[in-house]
A and B are shown apart, each in its own frame.
Chain A
Amino acid sequence: MSLELLVALGIGVLAACGIYLILRARIFDVVLGLTLLSYGVNLFIFFMGRLAVGKAPIIKDGVPLNLASYADPLPQALVLTAIVISFGMTAVLLAIAVRAHIENGHDHVDEDAENKSAR
């Protein structure tokens, strides 16, 4: 029970921090926020295969062939895909962020809001 609670709290904290940072609307904070959110999501996917301590996802000799003796391998495969995709997307977003910073001269996500008051 305590392990489940710990994991759930961890995911919750990661997601909450991520959402807070995304809503800050500064491009660097947004990137960090998305990274934290994707960490939370990755953990969530991983633990949707249920928590299992000391069990392998691959069939081993000497271990009885039933579901209770093994960890679910599918979420581990899914999380691998999700990690790769979120890593690639973060790289793309960083490239765009650098570009936006050079073009705008500031790091606010909504350039209109500041520009209109300046004009």
Chain B
Amino acid sequence: MIDFLNTHLPILPIAAPLFGAAFALIVNEQNIRTQRVVAWIAVALMLGAGVFAIDRTADGILSVYLLGNWQAPFGIALALDKLTAIMLLLTAFIAAIALYAAQQSNTDRGVYFTPLFMLQLMGINGAFLTADLFNLFVFFEVLLAASYGMLLQHCDRAKTNAATHYVVINLVGSALFLIAASLLYGVTGTLNMADLSVKINTLPPYSHALALSAGFILLTVFAIKAALLPLNFWLTGTYASAVLPVAALFALMTKVGVVAIIRTLTLIYPDGSFGNVAMSKVLLIVAPITMLVAACGALASRELKTLIGWSVVGSASMLVTAVAIGNAKALSGALFYLIGSTIAASLLYLNASAIDAPSSRPTEGAANSNRNWAWVGTLFVIGAVTATGLPPLSGFIGKAVILAGAAQHMWPMWLMSMVLVAGLLNVIAYARLGSRLFWKRDAAIDGATHVVPTALLALAIAGLTIFAAPIQRFTDRAAIELRTPSIMRDNVLGKRPIERQTSPSQVKP
């Protein structure tokens, strides 16, 4: 049993939500209770797979799964390394919280909500797991197609317009992705990332220009997903118009872009290959400027949802900066910051559902209302402190490690000053909006709808802060693994297909 699980672990986070979606489609919304059970089974399987994946990769095992039993550069391979394990567990956790919140507020009675939710999880998990560039494109499309449907839940005029922008920019992004992937295939003759990582260093000089342009187009696509500067204006409007439990899940989607950028800079164009330096430099200019622009956007926002949207942009650009710095310290800090900032963004979005509720409802009694304000306010502070990276919570630890990594880079002044200035502006923005909301009570509160899931997220942030040392040790090892692409190459390309045992019935004529 354990042996079977070890062999088939990498496919489980893709298969579980896929079958969940299929069953949820069969039972349809009329039968909401069965749908909920199906969704919970799928999410529980994902959580189990996430914990198991962390446990397995902590032993230094990099699992590779050959789809259809084809050997690596010819078929599609899934690879489960430490980065993927972290992302799988984080996805499963956020999904569980978002599902809980959606069921609590009856959002999941929307049209095809549960199947779309499951398919989106399948796309996100697949994008983290796959080691094949074209398969990454397919999983991107799966998660995007599901997100279009999720975005149009309870749709009104503003949502339809936000969705139009979102769909169009992502379709352009898909076209660019296809160009980049096929260009890389035309130059190197392979689409497997581990194989690309080998072939990119042995290219003849006349194809360097093509491979480099393919790399930059690829970065552009991932920059759309990670919302880097000229390509980030879709995010705030889109996320603000999503139903809030959905927005909590969407906080993961920028991280898919960030992880894809990590793969590009550490695996496809590894440290020391010809494209790496140029790409890192461009990112090190664009990402810090994005950070500053996001902080200015946060300062200018008058609504909580817009503010959170800008801080999602800010944290994604912070991560990209750290990835582009590229040394082990910055990468490890980035992974740690990624966990905290994703949880914080989900927390803030869920919490916002209590604050932004319609003010027409009369408040029920001063005492009860005060207690709700205290709850919602405390949770807001926890989310804001983590998102802006103030001590003592986990955002600060991640940011400090990233700064330590930036100090070792050749541009320490530029990077550190941008990170610190953007951080300060974010603190001012959160403090200003927070004091307007909670001290002047410039909003109504709706019975603190999502206190339990939000408090669970806050507990996770507390856990992340208290157990920072062991988690940091794991991300340190993950960063070293990422900095050594030969581990991925040897495991993926060295994986042999399972020998087929010819059963007697097949031998018979």
Q: Which residues of A contact B (CB under 8 A)?
A: 22, 27, 30, 34, 37-38, 41-42, 44-45, 48-50, 74-75, 78, 81-82, 85-86, 88-89, 92-93, 96-97, 99-100, 103-104, 109, 111-112
B133 to chain A, nearest CB (A): 10
Instruction: Report yes or no: B160 in contact with A109, Cβ–Cβ below 8 A.
Output: no
Instruction: Report yes or no: B138 in contact with A30, Cβ–Cβ below 8 A.
Output: no
Q: A78-B134, A82-B178 are in contact. Are A88 and B145 (CB under 8 A)?
A: yes
Q: Smallest CB-CB separation from A48: which chain B residue?
A: B186
Q: A22-B172, A89-B145, A104-B157 are in contact. Are A96 and B186 (CB under 8 A)?
A: no
Instruction: Report yes or no: B185 in contact with A48, Cβ–Cβ below 8 A.
Output: yes
Contact among B165, B175, B186 with A41 in the assembled complex (CB-CB below 8 Å)? B175
Contact among A30, A74, A75, A85 with B174 in the assembled complex (CB-CB below 8 Å)? A85
B168 within 8 A of A: yes
Instruction: Report yes or no: A86 in contact with B174, Cβ–Cβ below 8 A.
Output: yes
Q: A22-B172, A41-B179, A45-B182 are in contact. Are A85 and B141 (CB under 8 A)?
A: yes
Query: In the complex, which residues of chain B have a beta carbon less than 8 angstroms from the beta carbon of A96?
Result: 148, 152, 160, 163-164, 167
Chain B: number of interface residues, binned into ranges = 20 to 34
A22 CA to B191 CA in the complex, in Å? 29
A42 CA to B186 CA in the complex, in Å? 14
Instruction: Report yes or no: B171 in contact with A109, Cβ–Cβ below 8 A.
Output: no
Q: Smallest CB-CB separation from B187: which chain A residue?
A: A48
Query: In the complex, which residues of chain A have a beta carbon less than 8 angstroms from the beta carbon of B186?
Result: 48-50
Of B138, B168, B186, most buried by chain A (CB within 10 Å of CB) is: B168
B41 within 8 A of A: no
Of B148, B152, B160, most buried by chain A (CB within 10 Å of CB) is: B160
Q: Which residues of B contact A (CB under 8 A)?
A: 134, 138, 141, 145, 148, 152, 155-157, 160-161, 163-165, 167-168, 171-172, 174-175, 178-179, 181-183, 185-186, 191
Contact among B138, B164, B182, B191 with A109 in the assembled complex (CB-CB below 8 Å)? B164
Pairs of residues from A and B, 7 with the lowest C-beta to C-beta distance, nearest first: A48-B186, A45-B182, A48-B182, A103-B157, A100-B160, A41-B175, A41-B178
Query: In the complex, which residues of chain A have a beta carbon less than 8 angstroms from the beta carbon of B174?
Result: 85-86, 89
Query: In the complex, which residues of chain B have a beta carbon less than 8 angstroms from the beta carbon of A111?
Result: 157, 161
Query: In the complex, which residues of chain B have a beta carbon less than 8 angstroms from the beta carbon of A50?
Result: 186
* 9 examples of A-B residue contacts, CB within 8 angstroms: A34-B171, A92-B167, A93-B168, A96-B164, A96-B167, A99-B152, A100-B164, A103-B161, A104-B161
Instruction: Report yes or no: B164 in contact with A97, Cβ–Cβ below 8 A.
Output: yes
Q: Smallest CB-CB separation from A50: which chain B residue?
A: B186
Query: In the complex, which residues of chain A have a beta carbon less than 8 angstroms from the beta carbon of B138?
Result: 81, 85
Query: In the complex, which residues of chain B have a beta carbon less than 8 angstroms from the beta carbon of A93?
Result: 164, 167-168, 171
A55 to chain B, nearest CB (A): 17
Instruction: Report yes or no: B182 in contact with A92, Cβ–Cβ below 8 A.
Output: no
Instruction: Report yes or no: B157 in contact with A45, Cβ–Cβ below 8 A.
Output: no
A112 CA to B157 CA in the complex, in Å? 11
B213 to chain A, nearest CB (A): 13
Q: A48-B182, A85-B174, A104-B157 are in contact. Are A109 and B167 (CB under 8 A)?
A: no
Query: In the complex, which residues of chain B have a beta carbon less than 8 angstroms from the beta carbon of A92?
Result: 145, 148, 167
A96 CA to B181 CA in the complex, in Å? 28
Q: Smallest CB-CB separation from A112: which chain B residue?
A: B161
A82 CA to B182 CA in the complex, in Å? 11
Instruction: Report yes or no: B141 in contact with A37, Cβ–Cβ below 8 A.
Output: no
Query: In the complex, which residues of chain B have a beta carbon less than 8 angstroms from the beta carbon of A100?
Result: 160-161, 164
